Amino acid sequence: MGQIEWAMWANEQALASGLILITGGIVATAGHFTQWYFGAYSIVAGVFVCLLEYPRGKRKKGSTMERCGQKYMTAVVKLFGPLTRNYYIRAVLHLLLSVPAGFLLATILGTACLAIASGIYLLEMNSTHSQESVFLGSPLNPCSSVSPQTPACRNAWELLGGCRPRWAAVRGEQWTPIEPKPRERPHVGGTIKQPPSNPPPRPPAEARKKPSEEAEAAEGPSAGPQDNPIPVTDEIV
């Protein structure tokens, strides 16, 4: 039971619920049911939910697959700031949106699905908040004065034997947009430097003199053509 990111699942569910609401709403208004205005409301609510949930939020760890064309909606959703970033607000919003659609038979399915999505968002929020407050020591949490290792604060999954609670690793209970990484221009001229303007430093005067004297002395034996250690005669027969 590692670091499950419920928010991603809730996002998929909310998107699917939006589509179901739109379908149910179309059926209700086209079929001229009694109370067809609930159908019209359901279409509007469905479209709003779809647009809000279309941009997928960034995962905490690892790369996130973007939905195609989501960068336009990301820009719009980002504008609302904390209203769309916070998952609590999203959960409450979905719950409120789903209630009116429950009065009509055609859209009752959309209500149920959107309510489930809202529940999963709340689940994500509760799990991160309870663990965060343990470590940050918030006064609201009774566990705050006790260290996290005591049984009172342990996650229920621990009882299954051996697996440590990993909710603590899930930080950040908000929707972060997926930003395109700025392309780094390769600095072509970065390593190319100007040639040195000064000549290389000369060795000190003593070092300069000595090789020339040695060169004169060494020139003697090696000057001239090949010197044979054993005299060689050219025998002509």
Partner 1 sequence: MESVGGWHPGHALLQLFLCQMLGLYTGWNPVSSTSLNNTVSSSVCGSCELSCCQEFWRFLLGLCLSRASASVLNLNCSLILLPMCRTLLAYLRGSQKVPSRRTRRLLDKSRTFHITCGVTICIFSGVHVAAHLVNALNFSVNYSEDFVELNAARYRDEDPRKLLFTTVPGLTGVCMVVVLFLMITASTYAIRVSNYDIFWYTHNLFFVFYMLLMLHVSGGLLKYQTNLDTHSPGCINLNRTSSQNISLPEYFSEHFHEPFPEGFSKSEEFTQNTFVKICVEEPRFQANFPQTWLWISGPLCLYCAERLYRYIRSNKPVTIISVISHPSDVMEIRMVKENFKARPGQYIILHCPSVSALENHPFTLTMCPTETKATFGVHLKIVGDWTERFRDLLLPPPSQDSEILPFIQSRNYPKLYIDGPFGSPFEESLNYEVSLCVAGGIGVTPFASILNTLLDDWKPYKLRRLYFIWVCRDIQSFCWFADLLCVLHNKFWQENRPDYVNIQLYLSRTDGIQIIGEKYHILNSRLFIGRPRWKLLFDEIAKCNRGKTVGVFCCGPNSLSKTLHKLSNQNNSYGTRFEYNKESFS
Q: Does 123 bind partner 1 (CB under 8 A)?
A: no
| Minimum gap (Å) between residue 17 Cβ and partner 1 | 8
| Minimum gap (Å) between residue 102 Cβ and partner 1 | 9
Q: Does 8 bind partner 1 (CB under 8 A)?
A: yes
Cα 94–95–98 angle (5° rounding)?
80
| Minimum gap (Å) between residue 49 Cβ and partner 1 | 14
CB–CB of 118/125 below 8 Å? no
Q: Does 58 bind partner 1 (CB under 8 A)?
A: no
| Minimum gap (Å) between residue 94 Cβ and partner 1 | 14
Say how far apart CA 105 and CA 125 lie, in whole Å.
Answer: 31
Select from 32, 65, 194, 228 the one that contacts partner 1 (CB under 8 A): 65
Cα 227–232–237 angle (5° rounding)?
150
Say how far apart CA 65 and CA 63 lie, in whole Å.
Answer: 7
The span of 11-19, 70-78, 79-87, 222-230 binding partner 1 (CB under 8 A) equals 11-19
Q: Does 92 bind partner 1 (CB under 8 A)?
A: no
Burial class (CB in 10 A: 0-12, 13-18, 19+), 168: middle
Site residues (CB under 8 A) for partner 1, limited to 145-184: 160-163, 166
Residues in Cβ contact with 3 at an 8 Å cutoff, skipping those fewer than 6 apart: 60, 61, 166, 167, 169, 170
Select from 113, 125, 153, 170 the one that contacts partner 1 (CB under 8 A): 113
Site residues (CB under 8 A) for partner 1, limited to 20-49: 23, 27
